[in-house]
A = this chain, B = another copy of it.
Amino acid sequence: MSDTPKTAIIGSGLIGCAWSVAFARGGCTVALYDQNTAAAAQAKDMLIQLASELEQADMLNGQKAADIVGRVSIADSLESALSGAVHVQENVPEKLDIKKQVFAQLDALAPRDAILASSTSALLPSAFTEHLEGRNRCLVAHPINPPSLIRAVEIVPAPWTDPEAVDRCATLMERIGQKPIRMTREIDGFIMNRLQGALLQEAFRLVADGIASPEDVDTGLRDGLAPRWALMGPFETIDLNAPAGVRDYVARYGGMYETIAAGQRETRDWTGDTLDQIDESCRARLPLDRIPQAQAERDSRLVNLMKHLQQHTPKT
């Protein structure tokens, strides 16, 4: 692969811009394309903002925001964006028809050996790649937003995706400093939304069953479980929570979790009274018209947190 492999980013919303910054930070040249020319024209501002925030947080590997933005060009046609690209990252709206149409274009126009990756969080790759000639190079590379800040990326093959395409995508992600999660096959929710979904089902269950308030369930994750999880995953966590590691942990606590699981088989209705209670709790804590401000504050706190975690992660 070239020292400065070219990547094409399709769709210039927040996710497309954040991917552009992530690939450019990792040494790629980036062609960013949006069929909405007005949106594309605004992308430079968002790129500058994203890169400047990361520069201030010292998260550009010593580079300047201007260096990063300088490696991103706004392409004036899909053809020019794709020309010479080794990796194409699609970020168009989450509608099946649009994904199908865009992937057909990408497969027709991109270099034969380019990886075609979708950022979709909700659609399985098989749903929009089946009939493409180059379907074996198509996959999902799903980030947690924004990928310029959060490193995990799920790489999800369709049944016909070439394992070598998964490998090449994962290798590129590692090269730019992302943390690829290689899935062996597609499954609803991929990895991260399945983990989040399992936890959310229990959170709704606890409220629906009147065990604790939504505020208190939030406290249990935020001020209890999550700090440790920001340092280590579920298996790493339990591996350190018994003297002889994970095997010892399962011997000691497996029975407790079996008992708990027996009460977690049935889901609860997420609407109706339960949703009313959660909505009331959220609105008492944050009026609806302050959501945009709270999102901006969260993003700013997340930049600080990721800077902290990066600076304090052991180099092993």
Q: Which chain A residues have a beta carbon within 8 Å of chain B's beta carbons? A: 122, 144, 150-152, 154, 179-185, 187-189, 191-203, 206, 210-214, 216-236, 238-240, 243-247, 250, 253-254, 256-261, 263-265, 267, 270-271, 275, 278-279, 281-283, 285-286, 288, 291, 294-295, 297-298, 301-302, 304-306, 308-309, 312, 314
Contacts and interface: CB of A to CB of B under 8 A. Distances in A.
A162 to B, nearest CB: 18
A270 B245 contact: no
A286 to B, nearest CB: 7
Contact of A305 (B227, B267, B285): B227
A246 B291 CA distance: 11
21 contacts: A144-B228, A150-B224, A152-B225, A154-B220, A180-B219, A181-B217, A181-B219, A193-B260, A195-B199, A221-B229, A226-B230, A227-B309, A230-B230, A232-B298, A236-B282, A244-B288, A245-B291, A257-B270, A301-B312, A301-B314, A305-B308
Contact of A192 (B185, B191, B225, B243): B225
A152 B234 CA distance: 19
Q: How many copies does the complex hold?
A: 2
A222 B314 CA distance: 14
Nearest to A121: B256
Contact of A270 (B183, B192, B250): B250
Contacts of A225: 144, 152, 192, 195-196, 229
A266 to B, nearest CB: 8
A212 B191 contact: yes
Given A191-B212, A191-B217, A308-B305, A254 B233 contact: no
Contacts of A222: 152, 229-233, 236
Contacts of A245: 279, 282-283, 286, 288, 291
